[in-house]
Amino acid sequence: MLEVIQTKRGTIKQTHLMYKSNLSYGQLTSYLEELVEKHFVEKMDKGSNVYVILTDKGSEFLQKFREMKQFEKTFGL
């Protein structure tokens, strides 16, 4: 989900996020709640649309996660 938001330059409509992540509305709400709780994303209402914004902490986490995955791949862990 975080990667999907990042590909959209850090801001995405909630409905678009749901389609891009292949999630049901229930799953999306539950995952988003956890991400908001951990301060990885923020929700913002703009008119009738809800936008999901990637925070600095979320961006930093994503970077570390990618580093870890690449490290694991390179060293065959």
Partner 1 sequence: MASLHQLMYLLQGTDVYMDIVGVLVLLFVGIFSWKCYKIDHKEKNKKYFYLALAFWVLAVGFLFKILTNFTIYYTTLKTQQIGMMVVTYTFVNESQVLFNIGMLMYRILTLLGLYFLYSLYYPIKDKATVFLNVFFIVVTAYFLRSAFHIFHLTTFLFFLFITYYYYKNYCKTKDCLGKYLFVSFIVLSLSQLILMLYEIHPLFYTLGEIVQLIGYLGLAVTFFMVRGYGKKTIKN
Q: Whole-number minimum distance, CB 44 to partner 1, in Å?
A: 21
**Residue 22 is a binding residue for partner 1 (CB under 8 A):** no
Number of residues in the chain: 77
- Cα separation, 36 vs 33, in Å, equals 5
- Asked if residues 10 and 63 have their Cβ atoms less than 8 Å apart, the reply is no
Minimum CB distance to partner 1 smaller for 19 or for 65:
65
What are the backbone angles phi and psi of residue 51, rounded to the nearest 5°? -105, 145
**Residue 33 is a binding residue for partner 1 (CB under 8 A):** no
Minimum CB distance to partner 1 smaller for 56 or for 72:
72
* Binding residues vs partner 1 (CB under 8 A): 3, 6-8, 63-68, 70-77
